[in-house]
Chains A and B, each alone.
Chain A
Amino acid sequence: MSDFAAGQRVRVKADFPETRGPCHIRTPHYLRGRTGVVERALGRFANPEDLAFARPAPRRALYHVRFDQPALWQEGAVGDAVVAELFEHWLEPAGTAGRLEPAGTAGRLEPSGTAGRLEPTGTAGRLETI
């Protein structure tokens, strides 16, 4: 699992484990597929997606990640931002390629129904066994 540094651009996985069965997710829908910037590491905490089902819950790195407000909603004031706590297993490096894409529009422009083809997060397999 990557360690992310303050200032690093990250993309939230455009994953929807809700479509695969019962689960508990702490990553809001409105941020999935969106690109943000790591503000700082907040420490390591037991994964709530396991805690919710009373499974052994490994501690995972938690980050404060900032997203430009206008890119999220195609409206709002330039300079405004949303900051959320996101666990490491929902984040992937956005890299420099991310700069070439319009920030945060990737999830929105994809047709619905493609979610099933996206790579599952690490929790998906275990959820399906419930």
Chain B
Amino acid sequence: MAGAATPEHAALLERFVAALVTKGVVSEAQIADQIARTSRASPETGARMVARAWTDPAYRALMLADGSAAAEAMGVSMAGMPPLGVLEDTPAVHHVVVCTLCSCYPRAVLGYPPGWFKSSSYRARMVREPRAVLAEWGTVLADGVALRVVDSTADYRWMVLPERPAGTEGWDAARLAAIVTRDALVGVALPRA
């Protein structure tokens, strides 16, 4: 997808869409709706899910059992979206997400992936030297914490449920959600109080 669209690309796309509409595969309205839905999605959704999981044990259990249902419970339409899997960090294990084959990303709950997530260097290095890559974010795991790199190679999309940091006792869900960044939701950063 590198480089700007040329007039030839634009013309090709226009004809391609026209052919799909003519054949009844998709309508202009459906395309517009999908673009609008994707544009509305943002990491704030994922952050609200994490904050609720930190404060509501029943929701946490739902999120780990069925991420798609947990997203729906927050008002996100998952119709037609790939199933969402949630990776639970513990005091012994931290997760980080990469897609070595392309750039699969849980768009329904995180929005568009950042450029670095799609870069060849992130995709190659995160499976090979993940701790070195994390260190470049300033993310250093505590002693005794194992790292699990989840390579998103097929039908699921994955987000991380990080550990609630110390020093957030008594915070409500809105305040907690504010410390759950986009980067924390794929595991390259950790939430900080």
Contact = CB atoms under 8 A, between A and B. Distances in A.
B155 interface: yes
B128 A73 contact: yes
Interface of A: 26-28, 30, 42-43, 45, 48, 62, 66, 69, 72-73, 75-77, 79-87
A62 B154 contact: yes
A69 to B, nearest CB: 7
Contact of A82 (B85, B101, B131, B149): B149
A73 B127 CA distance: 9
A82 B127 contact: yes
Q: Which of A42, A81, A83, A86 has the most CB of B within 10 A?
A: A83
Interface class of chain B by DSSP: mixed
Contacts of A77: 131, 146-147
A62 B155 contact: yes
A66 B153 CA distance: 13
Contact of B148 (A42, A43, A81, A87): A81
Nearest to A45: B155
A20 B85 CA distance: 34
Nearest to B132: A76
Given A28-B101, A85-B155, A80 B150 contact: no
A69 B149 contact: yes
Given A43-B83, A76-B129, A85 B148 contact: no
12 contacts: A62-B154, A72-B127, A80-B146, A82-B127, A82-B149, A82-B151, A83-B148, A83-B150, A84-B151, A84-B153, A85-B152, A85-B155
A27 B85 CA distance: 19
B151 A28 contact: yes
Interface in B53-97: 83, 85
A87 B149 contact: no
A82 B100 CA distance: 11
A26 B128 CA distance: 18
A12 B152 CA distance: 16
A83 B95 CA distance: 10
B156 interface: yes
B113 interface: no
A75 B132 CA distance: 12
Contact of B154 (A26, A66, A73, A80): A26
A42 B86 CA distance: 12
A48 B82 CA distance: 13
B136 to A, nearest CB: 16
Q: Which of A75, A77, A79, A84 has the most CB of B within 10 A?
A: A84
A38 B84 CA distance: 19
B125 to A, nearest CB: 11
Contacts of B127: 28, 30, 72, 82
B144 to A, nearest CB: 9
A82 B97 CA distance: 10
Given A82-B151, A83-B148, A85-B155, 11 more contacts: A26-B154, A69-B130, A76-B131, A77-B147, A79-B146, A80-B130, A80-B131, A82-B149, A83-B150, A85-B153, A85-B156
